[in-house]
Structure 1
């Protein structure tokens, strides 16, 4: 690399000096950390004054630390179920240990050891814990599975907001047994989602919950018939522009035109332009009069997930009449009718499944956006024309964009 003047040379020397100092400091810190190891083979005294606070699937254990100068940590050893040993550790900076992952609401024995810097254990202190109902069982007890359009809807309450795996099974007549057809890892307090793609014949389903320790609940078994609907033919759809619809983005290909909402490409989409006033409207003709049951929406993903112009709250309006060019209210109730338009649903795009607050989302949150989100339509008559009214965006912007829509309805 060629430097243009001595200032750049001096800067380089300064950076090199900083790097050398950082290296020396790092070595010093490493030596200090390694100094935790001790040759003192003295057995530490055990913990005392042990108290137990039982919680769902576990217990919080408090204690008084021994006065051993060589103490490094306290470890709990226990079995969460037959043949499944576990350990939990806490440093000498705290007087509390959390033991968890227990499969049942029964008494378990936990052995506590104080451990020295030379990894010498104290004599064990045995304590009895009796966990409250594990979270995976609490969730399983609230779960329901009901028929919905082209599939089933699963609902439940996860009061502890801990990550649980909800597993859906379907009976395979050929194999004469149940097979896994879906798994959902959820930490939401309220569980509600649908699995689609089924005909209207009777199907046998099973539903259970497992947790990160491999505990498995009993299985809810039921037989039900999904309700009828079909994916509407996108080739029949067309824009139906009204004067109150938002101006369209025209600066580059792939974004802007309403037709991109049904081009089967989640990399292109409807995109508005200008400092708009909420609600932001887009109107189109479905090509057929039908009772809309649910729809899948793809918002812009990757660098745009949970940000930018992606709709956060929106309303879907429908009419079977010649559409009226009116500014529909930003706030209304489902079922309200304004100038022939019926409010068919008020929606909030789901928060990131990880529980993180945007923009600090995870790869799985981005994948959630990329996969599309399924929304039920709670009310409304047969309609031919739809109007989406965006009332807020994840980025707080005054524009909107939606990449793709799949509309499922009963056109009979």
Structure 2
């Protein structure tokens, strides 16, 4: 009984003690803390970097900066006493900004304000706009930009609807240094395309158009090749792409769930050959990696091709498949936008995975026979597996 009463007493003590700590400031000290000193303002792109000396006051918990953001709304940024630097970001205009700095103690009491000001450098949005290009591409337009600061941005892409009015058709989210994207499926007639850049602070660029006098571009003609007329070709140095659960025709059935797969027991390169059924000047190809049952488990790994080359020929050179007798169309390398290690993926990586690796050809020769030559995989696997291969070009009538 004695022990039971002791347990009840201890429980009540802990409950009351916790209740006291859960309410009110963590420190009951009164008075204002000392101010920060020796403040230095350094302009940065789209903001200010502020450094200072912290007050010698053990009760100071953090420093906060209070300012009006680019939308005219009062905002604040906080940083702990383990840092003597604070950044204010998100300004679109190159105009003076006034900032109030406070040190704040454990009782959430502000110091007297230290008022400073500075003028941000050109915003990242305006920097990107200065080097943004919209140029003619196969079946549409190519949008290309440089993001030297790796600022998280959204690129809004516009094209005409059936009434000829510009409408938002795609948004690309990225923070890569150099990026590009193409809008496809437009006829070879004068067409106006446009773009707008937005950052996470809802700052927008001006509307960007092609650099032509009338802001118009004429998309280059191309058409998607009909995979139903393709024919299988097996040359003496070709790999077996029907190994394991793979099937040669899984590469040309427009189904992400079917794949090709090699045995993995012959030296690289591993080669696949196909008769396209028509003579064509290729404009581009798209390569889709293999997805697993849940979608992303095999992304950028599991035998997906990393480095490869593509070859072509108008006539079949011979049964031995010697690459010296074929025309090398280009080298290719699959990319992962973030550059993160295997197993780690950003939203941009996922979007790229589902869109596929696309490669274009400039002044491609007339070919009918095509060879896909793999030198390395994402994870170094001895086998190769991937999902789909699609072609576009100008068919020679």
TM-score range, shorter chain: 0.7 to 0.9
Q: Do structure 1's residue 326 and structure 2's residue 310 form an aligned pair?
A: no
Q: Which whole-Å CA distance do the structure 1 matches of 2:360 and 2:184 have between them? A: 12
Please give the secondary structure, in 1, of the residue aligned with 2:297. Answer: helix
TM-score (norm 1): 0.84
Runs of 4+ off more than 4 Å = 31-36
User: What SS class does the counterpart of residue 81 from structure 1 fall into?
Assistant: coil
The secondary structure found in structure 2 opposite 1:278 is coil
Contact 1:145–1:154 (CA under 8 A) maintained in structure 2: yes
Give deviations 1:131-156, integer Å, cap 9, x for gaps.
Answer: 11111111111110011111111112
- Is 1:47 the counterpart of 2:32 in the alignment? no
* 1:80 alignment counterpart: 69
- 3-state SS in 2 of match to 1:303: coil
The number of residues matched between the two structures is 370
* Cα separation, 1, equivalents of 2:172 and 2:199: 12
After TM superposition, list the pairs within 5 Å mapping 1:179-194 onto structure 2. Answer: 179-194=167-182
Classify the secondary structure of the residue corresponding to 2:62. Answer: strand
> Does the aligned pair in 2 maintain the 1:62–1:96 contact within 8 Å?
yes
Cα offsets for 1:116-142 (capped at 9, x unmatched): 112111111111121111111111111
1:402 CA drift (Å): 2.1
Among residues 367, 387, 393, which one is paired with 1:383 in the alignment? 367
Q: 1:347 Cα shift?
A: 1.1
Distance in 2 separating the partners of 1:202 and 1:224: 5
| 1:309-324 correspondence to structure 2 within 5 Å | 309-324=303-318
Aligned to 2:269: 279
Give 1:249 deviation, angstroms.
4.4
Q: In 2 relative to 1, CA 36–398 (structure 1 residues): closer, same or farther, beyond 3 Å?
A: farther
Q: 2:235 aligns with which of 242, 250, 253?
A: 242
Q: Is the 8 A contact 1:343 1:380 kept in 2?
A: no
Question: Larger deviation: 233-242 or 74-83?
Answer: 74-83
Deviation at 1:35, TM superposition (A): 9.9
RMSD across aligned positions (CA): 2.3
Other structure's SS at 1:188 match: coil
Deviation (angstroms), 1:281 = 0.7
Aligned-residue offset at 1:111: 1.3
Cross-structure match for 2:329: 344
* Equivalent position SS for 1:261: helix
Q: Work out the CA distance in 2 between the residues paired with 1:275 and 1:85.
A: 66
The alpha-carbon distance between structure 1 residues 117 and 92, as it changes in their structure 2 partners (threshold 3 A), is same
Say whether the 8 Å CA contact 2:311–2:329 is kept in structure 1.
yes
Counterpart in 2 of 1:220? 208
- Tell me what 1:360 maps to: 344
In the alignment, structure 1 segments of 5+ residues that lack a partner are: 1-27, 329-337
Aligned partners of 1:238 and 1:259 also within 8 Å: no
